[in-house]
Amino acid sequence: MRRMIGVMAVAFVAASSVLAQEAELNVRLGPQVDEEHAQWIQQVMHSIETIKPGMRRGEILQVFTEDGGLSTRSQQRYTYKHCPYIKVDVEFSPIDHGTKESPDDKIVKVSRPYLQYPIFD
């Protein structure tokens, strides 16, 4: 009997903990998560994660377009093709010592995606 009461007490504490975590999540995220938007963002994140160091400049254009503003051959900001507010900064290693960008320039680093208003110039 004592053992059964102990097991029930542990189960009660565990269930209370799970419910408390769920309540905290609802407070932080709001009671209504828009599942359609959340799923779209998940797809966006997956798409962005396909761009990795070691790839070439030309490959990034499958997912992104060049953003406005200042850029250099070794560093450029890109905007996600399906939403101009989602951006990444990319560092490149040029394949030669020329001044013109090449689709074969090597991607060295891709920033985490971030939100920013579009830049037009």
Q: What is the pLDDT of residues 42-78, one digit of tens each?
A: 999 999 999 999 999 999 999 999 998 889 999 999 9
* 110 within a domain of the structure (yes/no): yes
Q: Is 80 within 8 Å of 113 (Cβ atoms)?
A: yes
Contact 52, 110 (CB under 8 A): yes
Within a domain: residue 101? yes
Closest Cα to residue 93, out of 58, 45, 57, 67?
A: 57
> Is residue 4 a part of any domain in this protein?
no
In the chain, how many domains are there?
1
Please indicate, yes or no, if residue 121 is contained in any of the structural domains.
yes
Domain housing 105: 50-121
pTM above 0.85, yes or no: no
60 inside domain: yes
Residue that is written with structure tokens 């490149």 in the block: 92
* Helices marked H in 1-68: 2-29, 35-48, 57-60
Task: Give the phi and the psi of residue 52 in degrees, each rounded to 5.
Answer: -135, 155
Query: Per residue in 17-39, pLDDT tens?
Result: 655 666 665 666 666 788 899 99
Both tokens of 67, joined, read: 């953003």
Better pLDDT: 9 or 61: 61
Residue 114 lies in a domain: yes
E strand or H helix at 1: none
> What does DSSP assign to residue 51?
-
Residue 21 within any structural domain of the chain: no
